[in-house]
Chains A and B, each alone.
Chain A
Amino acid sequence: MAKKRVMIVGGGLAGLAAAMKLAELGIDVDMMSLTPVKRSHSVCAQGGINACNDQTRQLGDSEWKHLDDTVYGGDFLQHQPPVKEMTDWAPKIIDLMDRLGVTFNRTTEGFIDRRRFGGTLYKRTAFAGATTGQQLLYSLDEQVRRWESEGKVKKYEFWDFLGPVLDENGNCRGCIGQDLVSMEIRAFPADAVVLGTGGCGLIYGRSTMSMVCTGSAASRAFQAGAKYGNGECIQVHPTAIPGADKLRLMSESARGEGGRVWVPRAPQDTRDPKSIPEAERYYFLEERYPEYGNLVPRDIATREIFDICVNEGLSVEQGRQCVYLDLTHIDAQELTRKLGGILAIYEKFQGVDPRFTPMKIFPAVHYSMGGLWADYERTAEGGLQLASPVNQSTNIPNLYAIGECDYQYHGANRLGANSLLSCIFSGLIVAPGIETLFESQKGAAADLDASLFSREVKRHQAEHDALLKRPAGHENPYLIHQELGEVMTKSATVVRRNDQLDAAYATVMELHERAKNCSLSDTGNWTNQNVVFTKALLDMFPLAKAIVKGALQRDECRGAHYKPAFQMPSLKCEDHAGRRREAEQWCDRFDENNKKWLKSTIATWNGNEPDITYEDVDTSLITPRPRLYGLVGAEVIEEVWNERQAKRQAASGDQGNGAKTPVVAGAAS
């Protein structure tokens, strides 16, 4: 019998973590990536990686609080057991990465330094300058290279994942890949296929994502029958640098280190920002959210910046929307030490030194919380069964999803510095599960009848050839991509309205039809980027449809999904009794809304459109509670809410230990 192998698609943090751990377990790994793995999109993560630590612990922090912050930040749309396991592992993951040589910033005494990030009150975030993602990725890349030199890992770089190979029982037995240089299409038999292919930001045209983040691999799995969860939950990062080719991230750490967001009180004040006196500056985040100030969670910061520019007309520039992100009050040397990397990016691309001139920033599409549906096996304590082959598995047997391309960890909104954690965690945890899976599997994929694979190769080859033979003079894929990006950005980002989403869905459907009619400007069969892009474009549509349809149907506000028409209102009464009454109603409405909408959107592909169903969320560990950032009357609502919770808890005779009243019982699996 041939030896069993795993194919990992995508060599970012998640894929590399999985490869390294699998190799350690003695399992042979193939790794396919669109780009040399060292150039994966994880390098773009700047700010840091969250974990409860010795210092925060003594200030009252715990893994449980990290879990709480994460699910609260995510508006409770994620199953809690995987998150609990992740936050429990977080300190150990920092230790591991430290051992692997990540150049974390240090305190004077030599401990790993921490900074505060959005959505928490604790300094939980370990960081390596302003290139934490790069540093984490490199240390994993190095470990995988070590295994590569020992022959345990074989890399296929500049290869495109064209789709999984499913046998007659619907089990995944490998995948089809295409060499981006020679254009060769071949099959890779594998006993487990792990997708760690990242987000799908390119569906939005310009975003903070890298050029490989088309979502095509996830889409190909989706079209092959994998479920896609919470597609509509797309994080828009509050602070990005506008650019002609992409929107470049300005890390949240700029605010974590004391950066202040403001606009001149006078619209489009043409004075040099540094000459505008304090009194004439509007520090709107600090004024509206006194507790969190500039470090409110991302969705809120984004909405406020959007609001200031679009609704209040206070954009700094006339023709372009942006606000100031100001670091100039901080010592330049300290800025260089802590934020050198990201400040250099701003300076390189804008030609202005942010140490001395306030930066101009605006929100940009940044992260897909949603992704391929993935399962888990829960323990009685509410964590994960560690070696379970169910963890991270999609609904297609033997096909796994990890990292940004799964939907597991971030609910409706991701906390800053949690993505690196979830990527590494999901990569590490998938490995022992696959080891268990292999023990139960009979036979190896490589020993299967070759016709299963050759049939799939033939199918993909035929599709490829047909694309090349398209008559000239039809649609231009690049222009269609531009149109898709425009419609998606307009309708499915910061503020969502059903009329716009409706129209957008129709436009996306139409664009999809037009895209099927694209002609290629390059019909050759050597390093043809034109055909590769066109294929990726075609595969953007199923996900785009899942995003828009999911957003259209979800009539509520949850995390990054913000629909003003369905917003929970502020309290209007002035007197306390009136407020109490309103707060009672408010809480009733909140409970009702949760009953209806505290559910994951699950899309399945029917060949032309996504079908949407809903799945209950395991909130058995922390009871969903309202997010009250900036709401008028928040304190009264909180008072009522807490009274109700106390009553419920008393009624259910809960023993404490954190496990609160379940609102939706039972795990998804």
Chain B
Amino acid sequence: MADTSHNGHKAPDSFEVRILRQGGPGQNSYWERHRVKHEQDMNVISVLQRIAANAQTVDGKSVAPVAWDCNCLEEVCGACTMVVNGRTRQACTALVDRLLEDNSKEIELQPMTKFPVLRDLMVDRSRMFRSLQKVKAWVPVDGYYDMGPGPKQSREQQEVAYPLSECMSCGCCLEACPQYTKVELTQRDDESDADFQKRKNAAYDSSFIGAAAISQAVLFNSHPTGKNTAGERLDALMDEGGIQVCGNAQNCVAVCPKEIPLTTSIAKAGRATTIHAIKKWFDR
């Protein structure tokens, strides 16, 4: 296990960062170059922090600092997803020395392409949370009074459920999915916020739901209590934009930072919807 950040080949004194910027929704995007001094143990977050502290392009022009989204910096919150050197990932685990090993000239940062850009590297991923609503990704408990322990579960059940439950809605699986396409609407002048939200939700609901939400539906359908509403989740998965849109490119599982077995979930959901559809047909 080579620790290339400390020994191995010598790191450069500084390096260039090429960032795809955009002032706001509907505006043109443009590339901008920054030069950043190299430090030990740097990641893309610290690069962006340095740029925020001193926002100057390589030509010495002062610019507004780059906007980006981040929070935990430990790859458990899912906030800082962006496209780094052409690949979707969390900026916090994108270590500069590793990136420079691949391309010593520069690091390229882009916002995710499947979600509307709010500004620079910041995107609106509310569609992901809408999808979780659509598949009813929760355990339908009666309430929050003390009712004793939950259903007993085997270690095997826990070991299947836990990885699925680690999904942090980061959106990598959707960014890399060739079947997941961007839905971006603009608020009309005469439209209220509530109406706009309604229109957005309708658009989200009819577009592909994606691997993350499918996997969550599978998670809750396997929970002893969650099972009770399994049919509703399957119905949601069979709606327009449901599991049938999956094209089995399997990029989702390859890019998932939490290594969630998304394609297994998709196949499980495929089986469940098959049976559910047949049952529904004959039970009519």
B59 CB within 8 Å of chain A? no
B92 CB within 8 Å of chain A? yes
Taking CB atoms and an 8 Å cut-off, the chain A residues in 262-280 that contact chain B are none
Given A43-B76, A134-B166, A478-B52; A106-B139 close (CB under 8 Å): no
Q: Is the CB of A529 within 8 A of B52?
A: yes
A555 to B: closest C-beta gap in Å: 36
Residue ID in chain B nearest A44 by CB atoms = B72
Q: Is the CB of B76 within 8 A of A44?
A: yes
User: Binary interface profile of B, 34-60, with partner A (CB < 8 Å = 1, else 0)?
Assistant: 000001111101100100111100000
**A149 CA to B257 CA, complexed, in Å:** 29
Q: Is the CB of A24 within 8 A of B133?
A: no
Q: How many A-B residue pairs have CB under 8 A?
A: 216
Residue among B67, B120, B124 with max Cβ neighbours from chain A (10 Å): B67
Q: Is the CB of A96 within 8 A of B144?
A: yes
Point out the residues of chain B lying under 8 angstroms from A246, CB to CB. Answer: 73-74
A3 to B: closest C-beta gap in Å: 17
B147 CB within 8 Å of chain A? yes
Given A244-B40, A351-B3, A351-B95; A105-B149 close (CB under 8 Å): no
Given A101-B139, A351-B1; A245-B43 close (CB under 8 Å): yes
A404 to B: closest C-beta gap in Å: 15
Point out the residues of chain A lying under 8 angstroms from B157, CB to CB. Answer: 106
B interface: dominant SS? loop
Point out the residues of chain B lying under 8 angstroms from A533, CB to CB. Answer: 52
- Tally B residues with Cβ within 8 Å of A: 79
B276 CB within 8 Å of chain A? no
Taking CB atoms and an 8 Å cut-off, the chain B residues in 57-83 that contact chain A are 62-65, 67-79
Given A146-B136, A527-B24; A478-B49 close (CB under 8 Å): yes
Point out the residues of chain B lying under 8 angstroms from A134, CB to CB. Answer: 76, 166, 168
Q: Is the CB of A245 within 8 A of B49?
A: yes
B109 to A: closest C-beta gap in Å: 15
- Tally A residues with Cβ within 8 Å of B: 78
**A207 CA to B52 CA, complexed, in Å:** 19
B172 CB within 8 Å of chain A? no
A41 CB within 8 Å of chain B? yes
Residue among A24, A212, A246, A353 with max Cβ neighbours from chain B (10 Å): A246
Given contacts A210-B72, A248-B73, A476-B54, 4 further A-B contacts (CB under 8 A): A24-B143, A35-B69, A108-B155, A478-B49
Interface residues of A (CB under 8 A from B): 20-21, 24, 35-36, 38-41, 43-44, 92, 94-96, 98-101, 103-108, 110-112, 128-129, 131, 134-135, 138-139, 142-143, 145-146, 148-149, 157, 181, 210-212, 242-246, 248-249, 337, 341, 345, 348-353, 356-357, 428, 476, 478-479, 521-524, 526-530, 533
13 of the cross-chain contacts (CB-CB < 8 Å) are A21-B144, A35-B71, A43-B76, A43-B168, A44-B77, A101-B220, A110-B154, A134-B166, A142-B139, A181-B124, A211-B72, A248-B73, A349-B43
